[in-house]
């Protein structure tokens, strides 16, 4: 499983700590450098057990290294649309949407979550891109809205089939929430901003909480019988089974949303013929690709046997010609087999296409497969 961020050599960085650092150490976590922070990669039970626990009960993740930003002002939604190929103006109150910052070539600068919190937009960006994303927003949105980095808040994720009942027991007002909805809630008496979303393919919540209350909230959640702490290792295997991209690996500034098979994130209003078509960085490239197609696409991959196929492995057709490369790969504990994703020439992107992945210099039979590898279980009501 790949948990490395592309942020430079560890030896050159002074790593920050989240408000839950001491709790992680108390729980016996193995801490590793990740996106500029010291983060738990696993707890004593191990990655496999953590992965299974999140799929069967509920896992608690510390994602406080992510960037949280508030955009305030009546012009925030229209202004943000100039940076993303996504419908922000049409986002209903207390609803959330996946979005992408793009560059002038149509490449992805980062992926992010945007929530219409009523009187402001609540934005969550990736930890490794946090600094550049906030600078990007300050440059692009200046004069249209206030941009406030919420550095005094932590972010926890509760994920798994038991998450809904756990949250309902501590915050009854969350019971009626559906996937990609949001609300303020008192979780065990702690005021939080909650979205029903996550990065595992399971039902779950992301909980923004004042940093000073983060440890108390985490201890409260961990005191519930169904909840166990989960580290970065299982977070990666869970998201890989769910077919979700990791920025810097599966998507980057040289990859467009169309190549990344993320066209579902571009609403009709922003496409050619829509009410607000274009008007975002790289729109000429992206709109053309939506209509004409692309030379390569992100696909799911199921290698034969039990040996994982890691990031960087070459993909060849049955004649031995190079047709692509793996961007994420590991063992999928839920399906009991290796899983991967990567980019291949579009002619080889159809499900069922047989390829070979080069592992230790030898070809390993691999088949293109639909994603997600594990059925999503988001709660839609």
Residue 192 placed within a domain: yes
pLDDT of res. 343: 99
Which sign, positive or negative, has the C-alpha torsion 112, 351, 310, 334? positive
pLDDT of res. 350: 98
Kindly report the CATH number assigned to the domain that includes residue 237. Answer: 3.30.1360.120
Locate the DSSP E strands across the chain.
16-17, 30-34, 37-42, 58-62, 67-72, 96-102, 108-116, 121-125, 146-149, 153-159, 182-187, 190-195, 204-210, 227-229, 296-303, 314-316, 322-332, 337-345, 354-359, 362-369
Q: pLDDT class for 14, splitting at 50, 70, 90?
A: confident
Mean pLDDT over residues 224-253, rounded? 98
Is residue 350 within 8 A of residue 329, CB to CB? The reply is: no
Is the pLDDT assigned to residue 7 strictly greater than 60? no
Kindly report the CATH number assigned to the domain that includes residue 307. Answer: 2.40.30.110
DSSP-derived 3-state class of residue 7: coil
Q: pLDDT tens for residues 110-137?
A: 999 999 999 999 999 999 999 999 999 9
Among candidate residues 241, 276, 305, the one where a domain is terminated: 241
Residue 128 placed within a domain: no
pLDDT of res. 10: 39
Is the pLDDT assigned to residue 306 strictly greater than 50? yes
Q: Is residue 314 located within the same domain as residue 211? A: no
Average pLDDT of every residue of the chain: 96
pLDDT of res. 13: 56
Contacts of 8 (CB under 8 A, 6+ apart): none
- Distance, CA of 298 to CA of 290 (rounded, Å): 15
Contacts of 211 (CB under 8 A, 6+ apart): 19, 64, 152, 153, 154
- As for how many domains the chain has, the answer is 2
- φ, ψ of residue 359 in degrees (nearest 5): -125, 120
Q: Is residue 213 located within the same domain as residue 313? A: no
Mean pLDDT over residues 85-105, rounded? 98
Q: Which residue has the tokens 């100039």?
A: 82
Q: pLDDT tens for residues 155-176?
A: 999 999 999 999 999 999 999 9
Q: Is residue 321 located within the same domain as residue 201? A: no
Tell me the residue range of the domain where 27 lies. 10-64+152-241
Q: What is the CA radius of gyration of the chain?
A: 20
Is the pLDDT assigned to residue 5 strictly greater than 80? no
Q: pLDDT class for 149, splitting at 50, 70, 90?
A: very high
Nearest to 207 by CA among 56, 63, 23, 35: 63
Q: pLDDT class for 294, splitting at 50, 70, 90?
A: very high
């Amino acid at each position: 499983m790949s948990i490395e961020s592309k942020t430079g050599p560890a030896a050159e960085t002074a790593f920050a700590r989240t408000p839950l650092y001491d709790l992680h150490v108390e729980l016996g976590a193995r801490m590793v450098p990740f996106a500029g922070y010291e983060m738990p990669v696993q707890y004593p039970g191990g990655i496999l057990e953590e992965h299974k626990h999140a799929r069967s009960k509920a896992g608690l993740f510390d994602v406080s290294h992510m960037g949280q930003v508030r955009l305030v002002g009546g012009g925030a939604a229209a202004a943000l649309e100039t940076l993303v190929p996504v419908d922000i103006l049409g986002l209903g109150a207390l609803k959330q949407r996946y979005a992408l910052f793009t560059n002038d070539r149509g490449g992805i600068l980062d992926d992010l979550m945007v929530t219409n919190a009523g009187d402001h937009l609540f934005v969550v960006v990736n930890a490794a891109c946090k600094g550049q994303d906030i600078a990007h927003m300050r440059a692009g949105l200046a004069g249209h809205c206030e941009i406030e980095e919420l550095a005094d808040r932590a972010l926890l994720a509760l994920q798994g089939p038991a998450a809904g009942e756990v949250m309902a027991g501590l915050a009854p007002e969350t019971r009626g929430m559906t996937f990609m909805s949001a609300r303020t809630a008192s979780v065990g008496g702690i005021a939080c901003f909650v979205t029903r979303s996550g990065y595992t393919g399971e039902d779950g919540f992301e909980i923004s909480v004042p940093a000073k209350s983060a440890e108390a909230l985490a201890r409260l959640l961990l005191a519930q019988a169904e909840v166990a702490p989960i580290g970065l290792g299982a977070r990666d295997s869970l998201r890989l089974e769910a077919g979700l991209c990791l920025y810097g690996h599966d998507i980057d500034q040289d990859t467009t949303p169309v190549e990344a098979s993320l066209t579902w994130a571009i609403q009709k209003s922003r496409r050619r013929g829509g009410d607000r078509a274009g008007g975002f960085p790289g729109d000429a490239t992206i709109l053309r690709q939506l209509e004409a197609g692309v030379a390569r696409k992100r696909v799911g991959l199921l290698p034969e046997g039990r040996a994982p196929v890691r990031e960087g492995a070459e993909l060849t057709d049955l004649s031995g010609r190079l047709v692509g490369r793996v961007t994420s790969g590991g063992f999928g504990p839920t399906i009991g087999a290796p899983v991967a994703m990567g980019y291949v020439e579009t002619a080889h992107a159809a499900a069922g296409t047989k390829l070979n992945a080069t592992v230790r210099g030898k070809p390993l039979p691999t088949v293109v497969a639909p994603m997600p590898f594990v059925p999503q279980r988001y709660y839609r009501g």
